[in-house]
Structure 1
């Protein structure tokens, strides 16, 4: 009986080696040549002795975004057990994410575990906090833009398209029309706090539908979806914003829901809660960060994502 192989994995490194496949999967697996557009590779030193013993190499490859480039590799057909073995083999510097191959086929690939480190062209969509309200320097996103572009003036771009007052539903509906002219390789979504402040019975269902729509939009552009969680809310100082009610309980529920969805769907999640937690002086009105609050958020984001 033919073994069912439900998973497609794009390999550009040691997993193409039949010796590695035999060590991990018990045999060489079905494969064929493939290519991934919009990427190049860079060396990644390996210190895990077990991985070095299996591959025979102490330097592997990692993917990096580069407009117009192409990485040639192979598509491997894997079973559930094979995929689990591949996950165990890859060191903590990698995470498994969906990519769009040059053939139009989607596949798993192991990408840099820090989602903004390999990025070149970043689009940010979100709400007033992502927009940088209350900060003349453009908030955490403005600081990220300055550092990102300074690192490579020729190839790096960051487009902050956040709109104050936006819900995650708004963002999911507006984003598809915004991406094509900006050629993004990374879509950073920082929204949801306004959704949590709304009284609606279909909240969890709508949240998942919006995230699924954003994931599909990103994949069509071969962009990596990165979801930023909510920041801490000082509910003692928040007030009614045109019918929106912001509380810590609702914000924490949103945080939990976003992280659970991202974990389930192999999407990058950036937890933004801790930098402002219990630091009421870093919030203007209990919700929007001060310039110092945005600086704290940027430093945190830089450490966990770049």
Structure 2
């Protein structure tokens, strides 16, 4: 029989109520006062009858990033079963993610399920597609920056630090030194397609297989980097490629099978580690006219990718 693991969960709302705890966990659970820096709250209307019945409220609160602010609450000490019950209680508008308390301790908290909707300062790291190659307007990241900053010019910032040709190894090694002065609350990683490429000499004899074995290590390193800045890690998957046009791309071969393996591996890692995954495959699928060279989106392709990302994350 597997022994239940201890967990801590930051709460600032209805989960602090002993009546709610008793309804969910069968008892009041151990709690301790705690503070979460860099966040404020905003109201969230609730429509789930079971949640309304348990809490007695049809409006709950959700966390939103704000430099200089802090949310007072409590840390709940839970078992595996308690944490599963809390997950079931929270509506789909919330997602359980890691945060850092003012004390420096890491804990779980329920954040807005739309990962960029509550962000203020977003850092983008990635490859040539994230950089915006083939689009003088800066690609999908440029569209994101324009819309995000327009929403609150005084406080919203987007820093696109993507470098063409980058792999996840490059990004995991280079990113830690770049974050400090930018004060990010969100780290958006849009990379990996270069990890799936093979040199032509190897590709001729290579049978397509699973995504690179180092993927989990690199993502784990980026997750630790983000958490060190109390930033939310968001991983954007690869975009669709037209394999017929990418067979010999600057000495590399990109294949759809390997890109799909990469997509599946990224998604599985994110689900297993409670990290946001944004699936970017669909907006360009079977739309070769939206690709310049089978790999990089045209300006119209970048706009389609941005619209899709916006619907997923805001």
Q: What TM-score, normalized by structure 1, do the two folds share?
A: 0.97
Number of residue pairs aligned between Structure 1 and Structure 2: 304
Gaps of at least 5 residues in structure 1 are none
Q: Per-residue displacement from partner, 1:51-90 (whole Å, max 9, x unpaired)?
A: 0000000000000000110001000000111001000000
The answer on 1:112 being equivalent to 2:120 is no
Q: Choose from 285, 296, 300 the match for 1:292.
A: 300
Q: Distance in 2 between matches of 1:65 and 1:233?
A: 35
My pick for the range that moved more, 263-272 or 196-205, is: 196-205
The answer on 1:227 being equivalent to 2:235 is yes
The answer on 1:304 being equivalent to 2:312 is yes
Give the aligned partner of residue 6 of structure 1.
Answer: 6
Give the aligned partner of residue 172 of structure 1.
Answer: 172
Please report the RMSD computed on the Cα atoms of aligned residues, expressed in angstroms. Answer: 1.4
Q: Distance in 2 between matches of 1:177 and 1:15?
A: 37
Give the aligned partner of residue 256 of structure 1.
Answer: 264
TM-fit CA distance, 1:206: 1.0
Whether the 8 Å contact between 1:65 and 1:118 is mirrored in structure 2 is yes
Q: Per-residue displacement from partner, 1:130-164 (whole Å, max 9, x unpaired)?
A: 00000010000000000000000000000000000
Please show how residues 142-291 of structure 1 align to structure 2 within 5 Å. Answer: 142-198=142-198, 204-291=212-299
The answer on 1:100 being equivalent to 2:100 is yes
Give the aligned partner of residue 206 of structure 2.
Answer: none
My pick for the range that moved more, 97-106 or 202-211, is: 202-211
Give the aligned partner of residue 86 of structure 1.
Answer: 86
Q: Distance in 1 between matches of 2:163 and 2:81?
A: 44
Instruction: Give secondary structure in 2 for the equivalent of 1:15.
Output: helix
Q: Distance in 2 between matches of 1:209 and 1:132?
A: 27
